[in-house]
A and B are shown apart, each in its own frame.
Chain A
Amino acid sequence: MESLKLALRNALRHRLRTALTVLGLVIAIVAFGLLQTVVDAWYAGAEGASSTRLITRNSISLVFPLPITYRDKIRRVPGVTGVSMANWFGGVYITEKNFFPQFAVDPKTYFELYPEYIVPPDQMKEFLRDRKGAIVGRKLAQEYGFKVGDVVPLRGTIYPGTWSFVVRGIYDGAEKSTDASQFFFHWDYLNETIKRLSPKRADSTGVYVVRIGSPDLAAEVAQTIDREFKNSLAETLTETEKAFQLGFVAMTEAIVVAIRIVSFLVIFIILAVMANTMAMTARERTSEYATLKALGFGPGFLSSLIFCESLAIAVVGGAAGVALTFPVANAFAAKMGTLFPIFYVSRDTVYMQVIAAVVVGCAAAIVPAVRASRVRIAEGLRAIG
Chain B
Amino acid sequence: MSTAAEARPVVEIRNLAKAYRRGDQIVPVLRDINLDIPAGDFVALMGPSGSGKSTLLNMIAGIDTPDSGELRVDGTDIGSLGEADLAAWRASHVGFIFQFYNLMPVLTALENVELPLLLTGLSRGERREHAEAALGMVGLADRLEHYPSELSGGQQQRVAIARAIITDPTLLVADEPTGDLDRNSAEEVLNLMDRLNDELGKTIIMVTHDPHAAERAHHLKHLEKGVLAD
Residues of chain A having any CB pair with chain B under 8 Å: 2, 6, 9-10, 12-13, 287-288, 291-298, 377-378, 381
Inside 8 A of B116's CB, which chain A residues have their CB?
295-296
Q: What are 13 A-B contacts defined by CB distance under 8 Å?
A: A6-B106, A6-B107, A12-B106, A13-B105, A291-B98, A294-B61, A294-B96, A295-B91, A295-B96, A295-B163, A377-B58, A378-B64, A381-B63
Q: Is B87 an interface residue (CB 8 A)?
A: yes
Inside 8 A of B63's CB, which chain A residues have their CB?
293-294, 377-378, 381
Per the 8 Å Cβ criterion, residues 89-115 of B in contact with A are: 90-92, 96, 98, 102, 104-107, 115
Cβ–Cβ contact A378 & B106, under 8 A: no
Cβ–Cβ contact A296 & B98, under 8 A: no
Which of A6, A9, A10, A298 sits near B87, CB closer than 8 Å? A298
Q: Which residue of A lies closest to B173 (CB)?
A: A294
Cβ–Cβ contact B87 & A297, under 8 A: yes
B49-84 interface mask toward A, CB cutoff 8 Å, 1 = contact, 0 = none? Answer: 000000100100101100000000000000000001
Cβ–Cβ contact B102 & A377, under 8 A: no
Cβ–Cβ contact B98 & A381, under 8 A: yes
CB distance from B19 to the nearest CB of A (A): 14
Q: How far is the CA of A2 from the CA of B63 in the complex (A)?
A: 24
Q: How far is the CA of A287 from the CA of B98 in the complex (A)?
A: 11
- Tell whether A298 pairs with B104 under 8 Å between CB atoms, given A377-B64, A381-B98: no
Ordered nearest first, which 9 A-B pairs have the shortest CB separation?
A296-B91, A9-B106, A377-B63, A291-B102, A296-B90, A296-B87, A378-B58, A378-B64, A295-B116
Cβ–Cβ contact A13 & B106, under 8 A: yes
- Tell whether A9 pairs with B107 under 8 Å between CB atoms, given A294-B90, A295-B90, A295-B91: yes
Cβ–Cβ contact B61 & A298, under 8 A: no
Inside 8 A of A287's CB, which chain B residues have their CB?
102
Q: How far is the CA of A377 from the CA of B92 in the complex (A)?
A: 17
Cβ–Cβ contact B102 & A288, under 8 A: yes
Q: How far is the CA of A356 from the CA of B84 in the complex (A)?
A: 34
Which of A288, A294, A377 sits near B104, CB closer than 8 Å? A288
Q: How far is the CA of A141 from the CA of B22 in the complex (A)?
A: 79
Total residues of chain B contacting the partner, CB 8 A:
23
Q: Is B118 an interface residue (CB 8 A)?
A: yes
Other 20 A-B pairs with CB < 8 A, given A296-B87, A298-B84: A6-B107, A9-B106, A9-B107, A287-B102, A288-B102, A291-B98, A291-B102, A293-B63, A295-B91, A295-B96, A295-B115, A295-B163, A296-B88, A296-B116, A297-B87, A297-B119, A377-B58, A377-B63, A377-B64, A378-B64
CB distance from B58 to the nearest CB of A (A): 5
Residue from A2, A292, A296, A381 with most neighbouring chain B CB atoms (10 Å): A296
Inside 8 A of B90's CB, which chain A residues have their CB?
294-296
Cβ–Cβ contact A6 & B104, under 8 A: yes
Q: How far is the CA of A99 from the CA of B13 in the complex (A)?
A: 89
Inside 8 A of B105's CB, which chain A residues have their CB?
13
Inside 8 A of A296's CB, which chain B residues have their CB?
87-88, 90-92, 116, 119
Inside 8 A of A13's CB, which chain B residues have their CB?
105-106
CB distance from A6 to the nearest CB of B (A): 7
Inside 8 A of B107's CB, which chain A residues have their CB?
6, 9
Q: Which residue of A lies closest to B89 (CB)?
A: A296
Per the 8 Å Cβ criterion, residues 29-63 of B in contact with A are: 55, 58, 61, 63
Inside 8 A of B87's CB, which chain A residues have their CB?
293, 296-298
Q: How far is the CA of A296 from the CA of B83 in the complex (A)?
A: 10
CB distance from B61 to the nearest CB of A (A): 7
Q: Which residue of A lies closest to B95 (CB)?
A: A295
Cβ–Cβ contact A2 & B118, under 8 A: yes
Q: How far is the CA of A378 from the CA of B98 in the complex (A)?
A: 12
Q: How far is the CA of A288 from the CA of B105 in the complex (A)?
A: 9
Inside 8 A of A294's CB, which chain B residues have their CB?
61, 63, 90, 96
CB distance from B121 to the nearest CB of A (A): 14
Q: Which residue of B lies closest to A12 (CB)?
A: B106
Inside 8 A of B115's CB, which chain A residues have their CB?
292, 295
Q: How far is the CA of A9 from the CA of B119 in the complex (A)?
A: 20
Q: How far is the CA of A294 from the CA of B61 in the complex (A)?
A: 9
Inside 8 A of B104's CB, which chain A residues have their CB?
6, 288, 291
CB distance from A273 to the nearest CB of B (A): 23
Q: Which residue of B lies closest to A11 (CB)?
A: B106
Q: How far is the CA of A259 from the CA of B55 in the complex (A)?
A: 58
Residue from A6, A293, A295 with most neighbouring chain B CB atoms (10 Å): A295
Q: Which residue of A lies closest to B58 (CB)?
A: A378
Q: Which residue of A lies closest to B115 (CB)?
A: A295
Q: How far is the CA of A292 from the CA of B107 in the complex (A)?
A: 13
Q: How far is the CA of A296 from the CA of B115 in the complex (A)?
A: 10
Q: How far is the CA of A293 from the CA of B88 in the complex (A)?
A: 10
- Tell whether A381 pairs with B102 under 8 Å between CB atoms, given A296-B90, A298-B87: yes
CB distance from A7 to the nearest CB of B (A): 10
Q: Which residue of A lies closest to B101 (CB)?
A: A291
Inside 8 A of A6's CB, which chain B residues have their CB?
104, 106-107
Residue from B58, B63, B91 with most neighbouring chain A CB atoms (10 Å): B63
CB distance from A364 to the nearest CB of B (A): 20
CB distance from B163 to the nearest CB of A (A): 8
CB distance from B159 to the nearest CB of A (A): 13
CB distance from A323 to the nearest CB of B (A): 28
Q: Which residue of B lies closest to A291 (CB)?
A: B102
Inside 8 A of A2's CB, which chain B residues have their CB?
118
